[in-house]
Amino acid sequence: NPCYQRICQNGGTCSVIANATNVSFTCTCSNSYAGQYCETSLDALANRGCLSECMNGGSCIK
């Protein structure tokens, strides 16, 4: 169970996704956070002038 390790951050809720061959998870983040693990503060992005989280390790440049 991947949720056993409390993998979601900043108050995110972990849900197990399972099928016949694979078990994975998804984090449902609060309104203030985003990312696979709810690790990105949307408030911090907004303060830098970013409207959304950059993908693939990219950085927002205002």
Domain boundaries, the chain: 2-47
How many Å apart are CA 36 and CA 26, to the nearest integer? 7
How many Å apart are CA 44 and CA 11, to the nearest integer? 17
The reported pLDDT for the residue numbered 5 is: 84
How many Å apart are CA 36 and CA 25, to the nearest integer? 10
The reported pLDDT for the residue numbered 21 is: 92
Antiparallel, parallel or unpaired: β 33-34 and 13-18: unpaired
**CATH architecture, domain defined by 2-47:** Ribbon (2.10)
How many Å apart are CA 53 and CA 44, to the nearest integer? 10
The reported pLDDT for the residue numbered 48 is: 65
The reported pLDDT for the residue numbered 10 is: 94
Give every residue of the chain whose pLDDT is below 70, as ranges. Answer: 45-53, 60-62
